[in-house]
Copies of this chain bind each other. A is one copy, B any other.
Amino acid sequence: MSTARTDSERVELANTALYEAMERGDTAAMERLWLKDPGTDVSCVHPGWPVLRGRSEVLRSYALIMASTDYIQFFLTDVEVSVAGDTALVTCTENILSGGPAETEGELGPLVGQLVVATNVFRRSGDEWKVWSHHGSPVLAGREDEEDDDSAEPTA
């Protein structure tokens, strides 16, 4: 990674790497990407899930999801990076295309589209930016291109 890159660019690369690791089902990459600091516990919320805390629980959840996913692709849009000191906050929309188990062996199951928004927090660790927190949630009401539409369900 070139040192000429700005923090913001490096954070965005780390954010992309998180989703690429998931697409590849790469548990080793996932272990490298998440923060490993005894004083700072990581946390993770997958869409619709409760909070998971600590590296072992978080990495176990990714291993579980990746093991049960035959195909998954993330098209990230609306990526915004905000850096403050040694912390960075990324918000983005995950346009997910995933395939479930095939009914016929050797074939891919039906593809399902899903719209998820994520807040990902990164922490500077030496030369690298590591994932401190991931929170993803399904978009149920309104759309980003309809942000002037006040009819979005006003839940708390």
The one of B45, B87, B96 in contact with A156, judged by C-beta atoms closer than 8 angstroms, is B96
Bound: A89/B134 CA distance, A: 11
A27 at interface by CB-CB < 8 Å: no
Binds B, one of A9-17, A35-43, A103-111: A35-43
The 7 closest A-B pairs by CB, nearest first: A137-B137, A48-B140, A87-B87, A119-B135, A50-B144, A135-B135, A68-B154
Which residues of A in the span 42-101 have a Cβ within 8 Å of any Cβ on B? 43, 45-53, 57, 64-65, 68-69, 72, 74, 78, 80, 82, 84-87, 89, 91-94, 96, 98
Contact call B155/A48, Cβ cutoff below 8 A? yes
Contact call B156/A114, Cβ cutoff below 8 A? yes
The one of B43, B139, B154 in contact with A64, judged by C-beta atoms closer than 8 angstroms, is B154
Q: A45-B119, A82-B43, A119-B119 are in contact. Are A156 and B72 (CB under 8 A)?
A: yes
- Taking Cβ atoms with an 8 Å cutoff, the residues of A that contact B are 22, 37, 39-41, 43, 45-53, 57, 64-65, 68-69, 72, 74, 78, 80, 82, 84-87, 89, 91-94, 96, 98, 114, 116-117, 119, 121, 123, 132-133, 135-144, 147, 150, 152-156
